[in-house]
Amino acid sequence: MLKRHNYALGLAWLGIFFLIPLPFIQTIATGLPAIYNDERLAILYGTIAYSWMLAAIYLSTRPRWLDRLIGLPEMYMLHGILSIAAIGLAYLHKTGTTSNGWTERLGDWAFNLFLAVMLYSLIFLAGWLTSRLPVLAQIKTWLEKVFHQELTIWVHRLNLVATGFIFIHVLLISYIHAITPFMIVFMTASIFVAASYLWFKIQPKTAAQLVANRTLAPNLQELTIQLPARNRLTLQAGDFVFLTFPDIPGMREGHPFSIVNDPRQDHHQLRFAIRGDGDFTRRLAEIVPPQRVAVVGGFGRYLNFVTEQQPQQLVVIAGGTGVVPLLSLIAQQTTQATTFFYNGHTAANLLYPELFAAWQKRPSFTAYRQVGRFSDDDILHQLPAERRGLAVVIGGPAGMARHWIKVLTANGVPRGQIYYEAFTW
């Protein structure tokens, strides 16, 4: 059973990797003087690399319309792969062309910056990689004592400086800026991406208030935020938002947190259950209400996925604080036949038992909560024999999600009927 998300994700990859570079390729290939035929392929490599880097910058603005289609985790994965691929093509461009003076200098500076930021980001911003390599994860933990998250974000922004160097690099090449159709494409795309990024940084954020901050369990805080009656947020069940604390140094860069409650029902209040895993989240326990909070969102595809699937049976698999977005999702699914598997390392890590007690009164809801992992058979034996009417949502650590996706697909559940929203970016 093919679902819309599969099509949207495939079209996003196709469009970004192949369709976006086409106007650049077409205009420069037809206008390039014959004297540069020996360098034609390398010039095309550089052109594609620039178009991909512009696309990567645009994706970093978190376009809301694309998030609802393919999800922010997929967008960030695209962002990372595009950037790495662009650096690879930039190397081929650099070794296959000749230049001098400021043209050469700016090109070299840009390439070196791109390469340095890529290596840095593979440790600090590529959770999909560190979640698979424990040694790299340990190195990241050690280095985070010095290179905190806010500094890491600023280092990553050096990509913008490098892209600016390439922009000037192109303008300094006389035979390139003489190709009018190419320059129209080049300038239009560059200005559009620059304007999108500028708007992303200056657009008004929803000014909210932290009104409660309590400890749910060791190293686990519940934050309650009061929103203004009128706000710019577009929230739905299962969403996450980005929070910043503008009055607290070191906490002014947005961090994503999933919403515990159904945002449509709680009188403009949002609740979050947050584990202290990093320098930002560990400081949350120290914040005394009231405190100003800026909120941007919402993001997420859990509700969209369930709506698109229209399942006869919904299975939820959650571990630890990964349950949080699924709580608001299930709060809204009042008539959906649901089987919920939820485990934690300790009894204290099994959050909000009162919600599960209330949901157990629904005729179509069954929950299994336990300390320690579920065995494969625990879950497989509860699946309906007919897999076509089944949808599975997963929340929790990336390793847990990979395990269950592997087990479920090996036992007849199509991959398109399973959704997991990774927080590994």
pLDDT per residue as tens digits for the range 77-88? 899 899 999 999
Contact of 250 with 148, CB cutoff 8 Å: yes
Residue spans in the chain of domains classed CATH 1.20.120: 4-202
Element counts in the chain: helices (H) and strands (E): 18, 11
CB 232 within 8 A of CB 204: yes
pLDDT bin (cut points 50, 70, 90) of residue 145 is low
Beta bridge partners of 206: 295
List all residues 6 or more positions away from 247 whose beta carbon is below 8 Å from its beta carbon: 291, 292
The DSSP call for residue 17 is: I
- Among candidates 199, 108, 120, 207, which has minimal Cα distance to 155? 120
At residue 425, the pLDDT reads: 57
Looking at 60-126, list the stretches that DSSP marks H as alpha helix, in order from N- to C-terminal side: 64-70, 72-96, 101-124
The CATH-assigned architecture of domain 206-299 is: Beta Barrel (2.40)
> What's the confidence (pLDDT) of residue 2?
41
The residue with tokens 């650096």 is: 87
Report the alpha-carbon distance of residue 359 to residue 374 in Å, rounded. Answer: 21
Give the pLDDT confidence score for residue 263 in this predicted structure: 83
Q: Is 129 a residue whose pLDDT tops 70?
A: no
The rounded mean pLDDT for the chain is 90
Neighbour tally for 348: CB within 10 Å: 12
Judge: domain 4-202, CATH 1.20.120: yes
- Greater confidence (421 vs 138) lies with 421
Architecture of domain 302-420: 3-Layer(aba) Sandwich (3.40)
pTM of the model: 0.87
**CATH 3.40.50.80 intervals, the chain:** 302-420
pLDDT-derived band of residue 231, with 50, 70 and 90 as boundaries? confident
Written as six digits, the tokens of 415 are 């991959």
> Strand pairing of 313-319 and 255-258?
unpaired
Spatial contact of 252 and 246, defined as CB atoms under 8 Å apart? yes
CATH code 2.40.30.10 region(s) in the chain: 206-299
Looking at per-residue pLDDT, the higher value among 285 and 120 belongs to: 285
Residue bearing tokens 């395990």: 403
pLDDT digits (tens, 9 = 90+) for 308-350: 999 999 999 999 999 999 999 999 988 999 999 999 988 888 9
Is 203 a residue whose pLDDT tops 50? yes
